[in-house]
Amino acid sequence: MVRKVRRRREDFAAKTAHTLATGFEMVVFEALKTKNMTTGVKPKPDPERPGAFLPNGAAAKAGLNRSILDKGWYRIELATRGKARYTGTQVITVNPAYTSQTCNVCKVVDRKSRESQAVFRCTSCRHSEHADVNAAKNVLTAGRAEFARSGPGVRAGARKPRNRVGRKANRSATAAQTTATAASGLAGIPRL
Helices 73-87 + 2-23 axis angle, to 10 = 40
Q: pTM higher than 0.85 for the full model? A: no
Q: Residue 54's beta-bridge partner residues?
A: 44
Rg (CA), the chain: 22
pLDDT in tens, 15-32: 999 999 999 999 999 988
pLDDT in tens, 82-134: 999 999 899 999 998 888 899 999 999 999 988 888 999 999 999 999 999 99
Q: What residue segments make up the domains of the chain, in order of their start?
A: 1-93
Is residue 120 helix, strand or coil? strand
d(CA 34, CA 170): 30
Q: What is the pLDDT of residue 151?
A: 56
Q: Taking a C-beta distance cutoff of 8 angstroms, is the pair 113, 103 a contact?
A: yes
Dihedrals phi, psi of 91, to nearest 5 degrees = -110, 120
User: Which residues lie closer than 8 Å to 79 by C-beta, 6 or more apart?
Assistant: 13, 14, 16, 17
